[in-house]
Chain A
């Protein structure tokens, strides 16, 4: 299942990454190497096996639906690239 440069470009775009054409070319080679190596999983018979999503055998814990934290606007925006009066300043979304 070899992937070409166009597929790598699409995957980069889905990943919200921008790579030069030159880098896409070398990435295609590397990803093919990795995916080719991964192909050996097809040798494993997994019929009737349930996917394992967690290695912890426990039910999801529930907590009381109460406020336990908050009122930390200054903390929340303390690492913002841009902020003003407790709001995040983001690039214009709608033209």
Chain B
């Protein structure tokens, strides 16, 4: 029965509908796999097996009665950033370590309304601030992939490291994730999985623990492009509870998977050819270009001149918004309150200092600094102007291309406890160099596994689409997926 965990989401949904197995059988298979793997991988920070069995039972009843919904009986993992009613949600921060939401996020509600089954909550960097899952209050996640040159544990990336690790290790059919600067796409690339961040506003932010509200966007991590389309269809919706939620109707995302890209103009940005990037990344990019050419696409050289300013711009905008969003953690109404205080200011300062981890504090302080009197114009307003320049680069690019192809990450997965990256925050931030531009511009971006490096580790390519054009993004992703024929899986060492 353990083979059931190897199914894709689409394969499992088809099998359930054809009554080849029940949701209960499928759910038990995942429970068994999680119990075996989680002590080694730490992908789940909370399992909800009783709830999963209950939901699977209801799905089996519906399947039997012919009342199956879009995701009926499909066991999923939920990033611990999404509030789940009555189920502990911590955003993997010590300040929320006992928080039990009295309400459900819109994204997860959409999944339950479509019949999905919740296996548990997935590990992540604290408040989604990190690129290696090492800032989690519950400890780092281990990548199921290992280098063929060393036995050292690798990072699955971050912040959605638990989601990526769980999908890659077959500990759920698919997972929810979120992306503020690359937090879906970088972990997907590091684990040989597919990750898509839709257009900003497609998925509701209601009930998603906030990091940087103008950048945060939910999306799935899945085994295939087709699965990503299925998950996206369910996760996205217009929601009156989120004032930046888009009212635009959703296309049938799955209909784009397998669609011809003949004649499509694919932009290759000059500025993404960075110094110091491993040759294997460049070679994979060239391979990707060739695959799209072979599929009939027209390759166009484009320029996104402000690309190099995207990361520094992000590291003003995101911390500024974070410092405001995280002001709510004051130890008064919810979250950790210190036992050690004697005055009100003491209570605020000690509760926050005890509750937040080092990276979160660092970003709150950067944000506070760039928003403070005397520096607001020089840093924050300046960054907002640069952000517009970056967004305009894309608008100009769309005059000559329909979609953009880039590498997903500047390297394959690196070791947990990388001392160089730990000592220099900027080194860690550079992980998002290829992904962060789409967050600033609000565009859809998808990472697709495209090959292995010389150490046997997965590498991904990124497809960037026009606003609201997830469809073409998925179509190109599916072409890459098919051409790459990426069927590698990590060996089960756990």
Please give the residue numbers on chain A whose beta carbons come within 8 Å of chain B beta carbons, in ascending order. Answer: 3, 8, 11-19, 27, 30-31, 33-35, 37-44, 46, 49-56, 58, 60-61, 63, 72, 75-82, 88, 90-93
Contacts and interface: CB of A to CB of B under 8 A. Distances in A.
Interface of B: 98-100, 102-103, 200-201, 214, 240, 243-244, 246-247, 306, 308-309, 312-313, 315-316, 323, 327, 330-337, 341, 343-345, 347-350, 352-353, 356, 361-362, 364-366, 368-369, 372, 379, 381-389, 391, 424-426, 440-442
B455 to A, nearest CB: 29
A12 B332 CA distance: 20
Interface of A is mostly: loop
B309 A44 contact: yes
Given A46-B385, A52-B385, A14 B335 contact: no
B200 A56 contact: yes
Given A46-B385, A81-B331, A33 B424 contact: yes
A82 B366 CA distance: 31
Nearest to B326: A15
B244 A52 contact: no
B453 to A, nearest CB: 27
B388 A56 contact: no
Given A50-B385, A61-B243, A79-B100, A14 B368 contact: yes
A56 to B, nearest CB: 5
B466 to A, nearest CB: 13
Contacts of A49: 385, 388-389
Contacts of A27: 362, 365
23 contacts: A12-B365, A15-B352, A15-B368, A16-B330, A17-B349, A17-B361, A18-B350, A31-B369, A35-B369, A41-B316, A44-B385, A46-B389, A50-B385, A51-B385, A51-B387, A55-B442, A56-B246, A56-B442, A76-B333, A79-B333, A80-B332, A91-B344, A93-B344
Contacts of A92: 344
Contacts of B368: 11, 14-15
